[in-house]
């Protein structure tokens, strides 16, 4: 699972356009499109295995995205593929691309387009790229549906119907097995729901220079390895940080045990537990420091985790928020933490809602958050003046002061299991106690947690405690291969 390449960055459409203009001014006309088409054709050939005799159908829209598809189709036709093009806006298809395809022996389909698409070995989606607005238009919807029955679908730059800047899918969109994207990843390829439509993503370097901060970035193994806390020779347990866990209730003692389980694997030197589930915690983890007094009197910690399974104890949340150390707020704690109090804290705060909790904090619906995850996480971070980790199939972490949003895709659907979030909050809180900044703690925590979920599950259902157990395997994997 190792990936030694650096951070995966995604830039928005405006930045890409500016870089494109700058580069185009220095290159002969059409050079960029040829680079794109060459990379696209190579990826299609790899996917097909055998190009000669393959049935390839191009879906061609009115812009340059269609031009890329046509030139790539011409390359495949010259290698012996049977290439036909469906023109969605017949009078407006890229003239140079169309001429190249016809010269190479490709044809334009006049009828039975949907049937031909269904029977294709490969459908190339060049309906619309970064110039697209909104979901697919009516004429394209039946073709996108037919494409699902083809053997493979490759999206040009991004799946048509996916918003490049946000990953939002308003209406129908093409589902690709592979997306060949040019110059840089686009946020919509890394953030759900767009990411799910993209399939695997291959980046083709066309020479774009993309300076400055990306909109979205994804940590890779090497980035995580560089951020993990490493104890020095003379660090004792206190110098490695103590993480306080204020969690669990008489009704939910398990949440306390799971948060402590995560915290013990997060790099802090010790875990201090405060709350009514001390007995259950000690029975499972005798190394925990258990206090029967409230957070304010529990002794020093370098970071607090509050909220998992906490019920309605507003007093505990209040005491934790008053501490001048980093605080992670999860689950019930999110409901009990007043926005203005969080805003006014001088130490960092990390909120870790799932979509339903985020929706409640934003006064909107869960579906709205799921559909527009990037804007939801940014909005929450702005409202609370805090770092926000929005859980989901791709977890997003937005910093308190804006900047690049971190996206994590190491998770597995098996992580959607009771108590899995409690483990994550313990883990990320522990990383904060060990000295990581809130944004790093959230994104490194999500990365390890997702990887641990994969290792623990290995294709079968897992419980949250299995995930906690597997954190150390994930950690080791990152250190060894990062």
Which residues are near K ion by CB under 5 A?
125, 129, 155-156, 160
| Residue window 137-176: x/- pattern of binding to ligand NPW, with contact defined by CB under 6 A | x------------------xx-------------------
Per partner kind, with CB cut-offs from 5 to 8 A, the member of ligand NPW, K ion, none near residue 125 is: K ion
Rounded least distance, CB 420 to ligand NPW, Å: 37
Q: Which is nearer to ligand NPW, 157 or 330 (CB)?
A: 157
Per partner kind, with CB cut-offs from 5 to 8 A, the member of ligand NPW, K ion, none near residue 64 is: ligand NPW
**Are the beta carbons of 374 and 358 closer than 8 angstroms?**
no
Q: How far apart are CA 266 and CA 229, in angstroms?
A: 9
Q: How far apart are CA 353 and CA 364, in angstroms?
A: 14
Q: How far apart are CA 176 and CA 155, in angstroms?
A: 6
* Residue 6 sits in the site that holds ligand NPW (CB under 6 A): no
* Residue 58 sits in the site that holds ligand NPW (CB under 6 A): no
Per partner kind, with CB cut-offs from 5 to 8 A, the member of ligand NPW, K ion, none near residue 68 is: ligand NPW
The binding site for AMP comprises: 391-395, 421
Per partner kind, with CB cut-offs from 5 to 8 A, the member of ligand NPW, K ion, none near residue 249 is: none
**Are the beta carbons of 407 and 394 closer than 8 angstroms?**
yes
Among 12, 39, 61, 194, binds ligand NPW (CB under 6 A): 61
**Are the beta carbons of 478 and 224 closer than 8 angstroms?**
yes
Point out which span in 57-65, 218-226, 235-243, 422-430 binds ligand NPW (CB under 6 A).
57-65
Rounded least distance, CB 193 to ligand NPW, Å: 16
Rounded least distance, CB 9 to K ion, Å: 21
Pick from 401, 365, 360: nearest CA to 384? 401
Q: Which is nearer to ligand NPW, 3 or 34 (CB)?
A: 34
The binding site comprises: 64-68, 125, 129-135, 157, 160, 255, 309, 354, 391-395, 421-422
Output the 3-class SS for 350-370. EECCCHHHHHHHHCCCHHHHH
Q: What strands, in cross-sheet order, belong to the sheet with 178-182?
A: 107-108, 82-87, 55-60, 122-126, 153-156, 178-182, 200-204
* Residue 131 sits in the site that holds ligand NPW (CB under 6 A): yes
The H or E element containing residue 196 is: helix 194-198
* Residue 10 sits in the site that holds ligand NPW (CB under 6 A): no
* Residue 20 sits in the site that holds ligand NPW (CB under 6 A): yes
Point out which span in 48-56, 60-68, 227-235, 374-382 binds ligand NPW (CB under 6 A).
60-68
Residue ranges in 411-430 that form contacts with ligand NPW under rule CB under 6 A = none
CA dihedral 38, 39, 43, 44 (to 10 degrees): -30
**Token couple for 418:** 């009771």
Rounded least distance, CB 79 to ligand NPW, Å: 21
| Residue 286, C-beta contacts closer than 8 angstroms, at least 6 positions apart | none
Backbone angles phi, psi at 389, to 5 degrees: -110, 115
Rounded least distance, CB 159 to K ion, Å: 6
| Residue 73, C-beta contacts closer than 8 angstroms, at least 6 positions apart | 56, 58, 83, 85, 101, 104, 106, 124
Q: Which is nearer to ligand NPW, 100 or 128 (CB)?
A: 128
Per partner kind, with CB cut-offs from 5 to 8 A, the member of K ion, ligand NPW, none near residue 62 is: ligand NPW
In angstroms, the Cα distances linking 224 to 158, 218, 264, 449 are 27, 10, 18, 12
Rounded least distance, CB 400 to K ion, Å: 35
Residue ranges in 171-230 that form contacts with ligand NPW under rule CB under 6 A = 182-183, 206, 208
Collapse the DSSP code of 220 into the 3-class scheme (helix H, G, I; strand E, B; otherwise coil) and give the result. coil
**Token couple for 333:** 């704690």
Point out which span in 133-141, 197-205, 268-276, 435-443 binds ligand NPW (CB under 6 A).
133-141
- Which spans of this chain sit near ligand NPW (rule: CB under 6 A)? 16, 20, 32-33, 36, 61-68, 127-134, 136-137, 156-157, 182-183, 206, 208
């Amino acid at each position: 699972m190792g990936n030694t390449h650096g951070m995966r960055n995604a830039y928005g459409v405006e930045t890409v356009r500016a870089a494109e203009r700058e580069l185009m001014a220095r290159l002969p006309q059409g050079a960029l499109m040829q680079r794109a088409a060459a990379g696209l054709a190579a990826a299609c050939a790899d996917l097909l295995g055998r190009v000669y005799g393959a049935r390839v159908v191009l879906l061609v829209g009115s812009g340059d995205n269609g031009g890329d598809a046509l030139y790539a189709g011409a390359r495949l036709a010259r290698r012996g593929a049977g290439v036909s093009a469906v023109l969605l806006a017949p009078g407006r298809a890229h003239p140079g691309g169309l001429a190249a395809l016809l010269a190479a022996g490709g044809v334009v389909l006049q009828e039975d387009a949907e049937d031909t698409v269904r029977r294709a070995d490969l459908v190339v989606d060049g309906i619309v790229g970064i110039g697209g607005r909104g979901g697919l238009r009516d004429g394209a919807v039946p073709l996108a549906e037919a494409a699902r029955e083809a053997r493979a679908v490759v999206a040009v730059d991004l799946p048509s119907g996916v918003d490049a800047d946000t990953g939002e899918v308003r209406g129908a969109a093409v589902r690709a097995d592979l997306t060949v994207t040019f110059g840089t990843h686009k946020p919509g390829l890394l953030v759900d729901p767009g990411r799910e439509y993209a399939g695997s993503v291959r980046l083709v370097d066309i020479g774009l220079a993309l300076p400055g901060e990306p909109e979205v970035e994804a940590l890779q193994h090497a980035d995580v390895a560089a951020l993990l806390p490493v104890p020095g020779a003379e660090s004792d347990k206190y110098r490695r940080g103590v993480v306080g866990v204020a969690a669990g209730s008489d009704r939910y003692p398990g949440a306390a045990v799971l948060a402590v389980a995560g915290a013990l694997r997060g790099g802090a030197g010790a875990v201090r537990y405060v709350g009514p589930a001390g007995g259950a915690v000690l029975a499972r983890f005798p190394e925990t420091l258990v206090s029967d007094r409230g957070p304010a009197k529990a002794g020093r910690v370098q970071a607090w985790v509050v909220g998992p399974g906490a019920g309605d104890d507003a007093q505990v949340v209040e005491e934790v928020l008053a501490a001048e150390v980093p605080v992670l707020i999860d689950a019930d704690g999110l409901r009990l933490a007043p926005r203005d109090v969080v805003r006014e804290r001088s130490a960092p705060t990390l909120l870790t809602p799932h979509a339903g909790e985020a929706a409640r904090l934003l006064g909107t619906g869960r579906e709205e958050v799921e559909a527009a995850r990037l804007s939801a996480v940014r909005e929450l971070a702005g409202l609370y003046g805090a770092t926000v980790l929005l859980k989901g199939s791709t977890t997003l972490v937005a910093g308190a002061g804006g900047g690049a949003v971190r996206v994590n895709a190491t998770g597995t659907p098996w992580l959607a299991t009771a108590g899995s979030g409690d483990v994550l909050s313990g883990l990320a809180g522990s990383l904060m106690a060990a000295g990581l900044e809130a944004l790093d703690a959230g994104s490194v925590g999500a990365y390890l947690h997702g990887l641990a979920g994969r290792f623990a599950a290995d294709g079968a259902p897992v419980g949250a405690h299995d995930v906690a157990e597997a954190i150390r395997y994930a950690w080791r994997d990152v250190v060894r291969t990062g």
